[in-house]
Amino acid sequence: MGKEQIVQLIEAALQAREKAYAPYSRFQVGAALLCADGSIYTGCNVENASYPASNCAERTAVFKAVSEGKKDFLALAVMGGVQDGKRLSDCMPCGICRQVLAEFAAEDLTVITGASAKDYRQYTLGELLPHSFSKKNLQ
Ligand code: THU
């Protein structure tokens, strides 16, 4: 992945984060998912007064993409941090989001997290979810 594409994805995630609906945790997250055709789907976390009904930013982005017919993903950027906090934390995708990503993406999916386009870390989905349970187990 080129640096320019990484920066574009991080900026899209930061912009998506502005839409976060997180009145309970005040932890705002934005995600941007790069599809094989070059399109980018973004998402934010959407919380609920009944806490377990909340949805993470990553899953919002994946579900938006899949519901528009996109299932081939190359990279995901996740940017999260406490509202009005001085610096974003390295927001690692939660276990449920890793599992949802693994449904569609290969182990070499790039996952980027950090505080800005100048301060980020890069992983693969395989590093974040090794030995995953997947459709191959059901055959
Ligand atoms: N959250 C995400 O959106 N993505 C993550 O990777 C971690 C957590 C959300 C869920 C909840 O709305 C808030 O952050 C605090 O857990």
Residue 98 Cα, ligand 1 centroid: separation in angstroms? 12
What's residue 114's pLDDT? 97
In sequence order, the 6+-apart residues with CB closer than 8 A to the CB of 4 are: none
* Low-confidence stretches of the chain (pLDDT beneath 70): none
Q: What pLDDT shows up at residue 30?
A: 98
Q: Which residue owns the Cα nearest ligand 1 atom 8?
A: 56
Q: Tell me, in angstroms, the distance from the centre of ligand 1 to residue 82's CA.
A: 10
For 40, phi and psi rounded to 5 degrees?
A: -125, 130
Known catalytic residue: 58?
A: yes
Q: Give residue 1's pLDDT.
A: 86
pLDDT at 69: 98
Which of 21, 25, 100 has the most ligand 1 atoms within 8 A of CB, as the residue to mutate?
A: 25
Residue 129 near ligand 1, beta carbon < 6 Å: no
pLDDT at 54: 98
In short, whether 89's Cβ falls inside 6 Å of ligand 1 is no
What does pTM read for this prediction?
0.96
Q: 71 vs 47, 109, 115, CA distance in Å?
A: 25, 12, 27
